[in-house]
Amino acid sequence: MSAPFDSASAADIADAARRLLAGELAAFPTETVYGLGADAENPRAVGKIYAAKGRPSNHPVIVHIAPQGDLSYWAADVPPEARLLIDAFWPGPLTLILKRAPHIADTVSGGQDSIGIRCPSHPVAQALLAAFAAGKPNGQGGVAAPSANKFGQVSPTRADHVRSEFPDEVAAGMPVLEGGASEVGIESTILDLSRLDRGAGPVLLRPGHISAAQIEAVLGVQVFAPDAAAPRASGTLKAHYAPRTALELASDARLQAALQGRGLPPGKVVVVAYTPPPAAVDARIQWQQVPADPARYAQALYALLRDLDGQGFARIIVQAPPADDAWHAVNDRIGRAAAAFTLDTTDL
């Protein structure tokens, strides 16, 4: 059966698996965002991810495994809490931080004794992971894959985003598997279970589509905020997920001032808001309304930021979303994007 026009063919997937087995890079879709993958057990291959992205070597990457993969091959200890969450949420957008098995190189964990593992639900990702694992002598294959973008920039949610981000690698033959637009649109939830034996955890290192409340409902215990001893994890730096255009996260008061032209830079400005535009808006401002539902907002966010980045705006002003738990992941991503910029908004 032929693949849909927006999905990789079996031949494409087989070719990408061969390249991964040969120590090369391959980009592929997941339900969260597109990933830039390499053989997790090949330090030189993983090093190519860091080089292509411009990623600090102490910043961990997540290892992706197929549904039939053996988690105990990758982790030194798989606590009962992990099994409960796997049964509830895998395959899906949940990354578990566990104690790394001694035979797994610390290249994937930024030098730490932990490892981040997840099992994606996207059918193309699952097919690639299965084909890759089948080429391993022991049948155990993991693909290390952070988001397929330059470090700190907006994550890709379509294959064309990846191609525009890595034109040199694509020209050199790096496959980019098609998989349509990412269903979730933001990165996975990351939960630390690596320190349960020391009385720490579970700890939410990065919010995502699967909420702390959902995790608590499965485990029956509280999920805690990160502490000073928490392991480093993907996408948790203060400034991250940022477009190239200056981005400002605006409170309601700041937004009202901007709509009257106060504190704006020269040039065109776009306001990204989940509410309709008011009757009177400064002529320099373009209003971009986005869904008021947090899941739909998250799905649209990165593609929108990439689109706005190419339109010559002097600034992207984002209306601060609600502060309730349903918006936690969206607020996390926008807050980190805004932290990348120091802006003058004093003329109020």
211 annotated to a ligand binding site? no
Percent of the chain with pLDDT over 70: 97
How many CB atoms are closer than 10 A to CB 299?
A: 20
- Contact by Cβ (8 Å): 260, 253: no
From CA 50, how far away is CA 291, in angstroms rounded? 34
Query: At what angle are helices 80-89 and 212-219 packed, to 10 degrees?
Result: 120
188 annotated to a ligand binding site? yes
Q: Mean of the pLDDT values across residues 159-188?
A: 97
**Which parts of 136-273 are beta strand (E)?**
143-144, 189-192, 203-206, 247-250, 269-273
pLDDT tens for each residue of 220-252: 999 999 999 999 988 777 778 889 999 999 999
Q: Which of 330, 10, 19, 334 is nearest to 172 (CA)?
A: 19
Q: In what order do the strands lie in the sheet with 247-250?
A: 247-250, 315-319, 269-273, 285-289
Residue 348 confidence (pLDDT): 47
Question: DSSP state, 196?
Answer: G
Query: Between these two residues, 137 and 281, which has the higher pLDDT value?
Result: 137
Give the domain ranges of the chain.
10-219, 247-340
* 10-219 fold: DHBP synthase (3.90.870)
155 annotated to a ligand binding site? yes
Percent of the chain with pLDDT over 90: 87
Model pTM score: 0.94
Query: Between these two residues, 117 and 258, which has the higher pLDDT value?
Result: 117
147 annotated to a ligand binding site? yes
241 annotated to a ligand binding site? yes
333 annotated to a ligand binding site? no
Residues 6+ apart with CB under 8 A from 229: 195, 200
